[in-house]
Structure 1
Amino acid sequence: MSAIFNFQSLLIVLVLIICTATYAHGLVPSLIDRNKSGPLGVLWKAARIGERLSPYVSLCCIAMAISMLM
């Protein structure tokens, strides 16, 4: 089943995109910052969400890991 049709899988994909974009922005900030618009602007927005809401994103990661183990 596709991640679009399964809500839990969709949330996992979104959290992973946010975490990956934030990590990539920490390593190579110029790569993410130059693509603020267009299709790759989604990664810039995800990196901003990950930086500004990092405690909540980490709690979401922990909650998703626990729900996957159960």
Structure 2
Amino acid sequence: MTRDEQRPDLDQAARLVAESRRRAEQDAREARERARSKYSLAAMLRRLREENGFEAIMNDAFGGRRD
């Protein structure tokens, strides 16, 4: 196989690597966004639980920590 015959395979491999890298970067961005969203939701629920006294009710009902 000559050098010119190998070139298309190398070009295709380079394109596949670049495409794979772009997909991996996009997947990482989406995963970070999902994690950020879930963290925000958890923080909001924690704050609501503390503000409305639900935490104290649950602790009293199920023997949770005593303050």
- Fold match, TM over 0.5? no
Q: Give 1 or 2 for the bigger CA radius of gyration.
A: 2
Say which structure, 1 or 2, has more relative contact order (CA 8 Å, 6+ apart). Answer: 1
Identify the TM-score tier after normalising by the shorter chain. Answer: 0.3 to 0.5
Please give the TM-score of this superposition, normalised by the length of structure 1. 0.35
